[in-house]
Amino acid sequence: MSTATVSTIRDRFLRSHERPVWQERPTWAGQGLKLVVILAMIVAVGYPFLLAIGTSLSSKAELAANGGYVLIPDHPTLEAYRVVLNGGVVTRAAMVSIGVTTVGTALSLLCTVCLAYGLSRPGTFAGKPLLLLVVGTFLFTPGIIPNYLVVQQLGMIDTYGAMIFPIMLNAFNVIVVRGFFQGIPEELHEAARLDGAGDFTVLWRIVLPLSKAVLAVVGLFYAVAYWNSFFNAMLYINDPDKLPLQVVLRGFVLEGDTFNAKAMGVSVLPATTSLSMAVLILAVLPIIVVYPFLQKYFVKGVLTGAIKA
């Protein structure tokens, strides 16, 4: 056997056993670059949040001495949180946000699961046109005026329903859940049919217990959207008692609204910046508390549904 032949065979053998780039052992330079990027992201995200916490715990004198913002207060105080929670404005708005988020998330999950299950089953009447209609909403979205006219014609102006129904169904979440449902083995459906189970029984007893991951992720998507939504409330809500927390926060931080000292039952209010940061922390706290419990479902739920869609 010639030397050229041996070299060719050896090269083919080496190429056949080469690993893809993403399976190669990372280099020290690559690991160092990843570490630098992660640390930079932690600082970019964590520093503003810690600054908000520190400022909310600071007194007027300390804020004045440090230019209005404090990272680590020397003498932390909860006065700003006490004033905010005792005033009634923020607590009432928080209850509105909690109610809208809870009811809206439940209705959104119900509609998403029903529509996604129908679109995932072969032989569904008008399944393809409905799927095209859902996908078409990615390209053609209604403007503010058509949305307002629809809500007005339905008689939902100045009602809690105006903060739920216009955003109750998300096309992306429907596609993700549909893809996840399609990944469930068909043999399970056939076995249930042989036992005399109908569509509702199959969905409730078989499909939903196997879809906890994707439902947790999609439910979190909906909950975050409802909790952070303020634009619909600004458009459709006229009664100040029905405004959600995000609108109150926006008005207080951006428009310079202040609390009334007499209404708070105090003689002197804390610094406006401290009150603003206290409201900000209270607004983001629920999502921060819930997210770690659902984080483990993200890769399994979203990637599986998206890949199979």
Residue 119 vs residue 25, higher pLDDT: 119
Q: Is residue 142 part of a domain?
A: yes
Q: Is residue 3 part of a domain?
A: no
Q: Is the pLDDT of residue 40 over 90?
A: yes
Measured distance CA(55)–CA(12) in Å, rounded: 64
Q: Are residues 86 and 73 in the same domain?
A: no
Q: Are residues 34 and 136 in the same domain?
A: no
Last residue of a domain, one of 44, 60, 77: 77
List C-alpha distances in Å: 209 to 73, 162, 186, 216, 248. 48, 32, 15, 12, 39
- Compute the half-sphere exposure of residue 184: CA atoms within 13 Å on the CB side of its CA: 22
Q: Are residues 203 and 54 in the same domain?
A: no
Q: Is residue 6 part of a domain?
A: no
Q: Are residues 70 and 200 in the same domain?
A: no
Q: Is residue 50 part of a domain?
A: yes
**Count of C-beta atoms within a 10 Å radius of residue 33:** 12
Last residue of a domain, one of 77, 98, 113: 77
- Which residues form the domain of 52? 27-77
Q: Are residues 65 and 163 in the same domain?
A: no
Q: Given this model, what pLDDT does residue 227 score? A: 92
Quick: pLDDT tens for 72-84. 888 888 888 888 7
Contacts of 116 (CB under 8 A, 6+ apart): 174, 175, 177, 178, 181
Measured distance CA(150)–CA(154) in Å, rounded: 6
Measured distance CA(211)–CA(205) in Å, rounded: 11
With cut-offs at 50, 70 and 90, classify the pLDDT of residue 64.
confident
Q: Given this model, what pLDDT does residue 262 score? A: 46
Give the predicted TM-score (pTM) of the model.
Answer: 0.77
With cut-offs at 50, 70 and 90, classify the pLDDT of residue 86.
confident
Q: Is residue 107 part of a domain?
A: yes
Q: Are residues 285 and 199 in the same domain?
A: yes
CATH number of the domain at 265, please.
1.10.3720.10
Measured distance CA(107)–CA(212) in Å, rounded: 17
Q: Are residues 221 and 284 in the same domain?
A: yes
Q: Are residues 101 and 68 in the same domain?
A: no
Q: Given this model, what pLDDT does residue 87 score? A: 64
Q: Are residues 223 and 258 in the same domain?
A: yes
Q: Are residues 298 and 202 in the same domain?
A: yes
Q: Is the pLDDT of residue 306 over 50?
A: no
Q: Are residues 92 and 201 in the same domain?
A: yes
Q: Is residue 190 part of a domain?
A: yes
Last residue of a domain, one of 62, 77, 92: 77
Q: Is residue 4 part of a domain?
A: no
- pLDDT above 70 covers a percentage of the chain that reads 81
Quick: pLDDT tens for 156-205. 999 999 999 988 999 999 998 998 898 888 888 888 888 888 888 888 88
Number of domains in the chain: 2
Q: Are residues 218 and 239 in the same domain?
A: yes
Q: Is residue 135 part of a domain?
A: yes
